[in-house]
Amino acid sequence: MKFQYLFFIIITNPSLIITNPSLIITNPSLIITNPSLIITKLKFVTMIFCSIIITNFNFVIAIVEDVMKNSKITQYKNEVNTIPMREWTSDEMDLFFAILTRMKDENTKEVVMDRQELAFLSNYKRHFNEFKTAVSNLSKKIMNLYYIEKTSNSYLQMPLFTYFKLNWKDDLSDMALTIKVNPEFEYILNKWNEGNWTKFMLDEFTSIRSTYSKTLFRLLKQWKFNKNGKTFEIDEFRKFMCIPDSYSVGLIHERIVKKSVKDLQPYFKDLQYEAITENTKGKPITKFKFWWIPEERQQAPEFVDEKYIEKTNKQRVKNKTNHREPDDQTKEYIKKRKEEYYQSIIDERDNIIPENMSISDYMNELSKNNDHFKSIKL
């Protein structure tokens, strides 16, 4: 009976264990001689937990989906779109942007990705022998990849990554990629309050197979909020899309632009384009204009600044001013439920502790008969 109530006290007063760990360490008999108490309590807690999950199933699913969705949001500075990827395969592009997505907000830390995570992010579904080959080929391209930034008075060139290592087991049952970003390259992936950014869902990008369509997808996502769409001069378009010089403008129009716009229809609302011609002999195409119904900007800011903090504090004051106190009937109901809860605890205590004895007196009585309890004070 004493141990049973002691367990009840521990359950209703967990601070006892935190402040007095010796209660359990020095008295394993509490657990050994009364396993049914723990099983009963565990069954009760499990039942309550399962009840919460079942009654809030849609809420739990929504949380899981939101976490998975956020893990596949790709975001980087617009300058990344200028990296030439003419010789890259579709799989290599998927893996590269999967790595950028994983390294987002990691600063300059060394990041380790196992086979499952990398395949999950890049949506790689083929045999893992091919997967190893694709990652190995990507490593060669990445280590020879340089970021170039030009201004009217400067020229900057630097490698994007300083470390890229791939390990795998002989049977390819497991694989690990270790990679580290160049410290000078940190702002490309982390400092969201500086410059302009390209942001999209990685799943959408990896679902596109054509490398030209993938590249156009990234370029247009850079301008997804623009009401006027985006217009490219021919030379500019050829450069960004990494189109060989041997391709004529007519070939670019027929084989690249038309096909890419068709591929990107699911990802841009009402996506259209126009081949703008010059009013000269032969009417040569000089520009490609793309437009769509622009996406709406998120109301929540993507970074915190002083203006946002000030605005948030004002909103909190407003919400506090508009807060309504519960009416008398609601207050009475809350008070009644609290009294019922407290009474249930008192009833449980009265069933175990002798009448007219407080919890402190009961624990002191226990301590007289057991040296292990002498240090416990309530």
**Rg (the chain; Cα; Å):** 32
Work out the number of other CB atoms within 10 angstroms of the CB of residue 8.
17
- What is the Cα 213 distance to its own chain's centre? 26
**Residue 377: predicted pLDDT:** 43
140: its two tokens: 């060669």
**Residue 1: predicted pLDDT:** 45
List of E strands, the chain: 73-77, 111-114, 146-151, 154-159, 161-168, 175-181, 197-201, 230-233, 272-277, 285-291
Furthest CA-CA distance within the chain:
109
pTM more than 0.75: no
Query: Could you give the CA distance from residue 54 to residue 64 in angstroms, rounded to a whole number?
Result: 15
Query: Could you give the CA distance from residue 155 to residue 301 in angstroms, rounded to a whole number?
Result: 32
Q: Determine contact, residues 182/158, Cβ cutoff 8 Å.
A: yes
Query: Could you give the CA distance from residue 231 to residue 257 in angstroms, rounded to a whole number?
Result: 13
**Residue 144: predicted pLDDT:** 78
The CA–CA distances, whole Å, from 305 to 106, 301, 312 equal: 20, 9, 11
Q: Determine contact, residues 160/147, Cβ cutoff 8 Å.
A: yes
**Residue 98: predicted pLDDT:** 93
189: its two tokens: 């992936």
Work out the number of other CB atoms within 10 angstroms of the CB of residue 93.
20
Q: What is the pLDDT along the chain (378 residues), one digit of tens a residue?
A: 444 444 444 444 544 444 454 444 445 454 444 555 444 444 444 555 555 555 555 544 444 444 455 568 998 888 888 888 888 999 999 999 999 898 887 777 889 999 889 989 999 887 777 888 888 899 888 877 776 777 888 887 777 888 888 888 887 778 899 988 888 777 777 665 566 889 999 999 999 999 999 999 999 999 999 999 999 999 999 999 999 999 999 999 999 999 999 999 999 999 999 999 998 888 899 999 999 999 987 654 444 444 444 555 555 555 555 555 666 777 777 777 767 766 665 665 555 556 666 656 666 665 565 554 444 444
**Residue 51: predicted pLDDT:** 54
Q: What is the dihedral of CA 87, 92, 97, 99, to 10 degrees?
A: -130
**Residue 159: predicted pLDDT:** 79
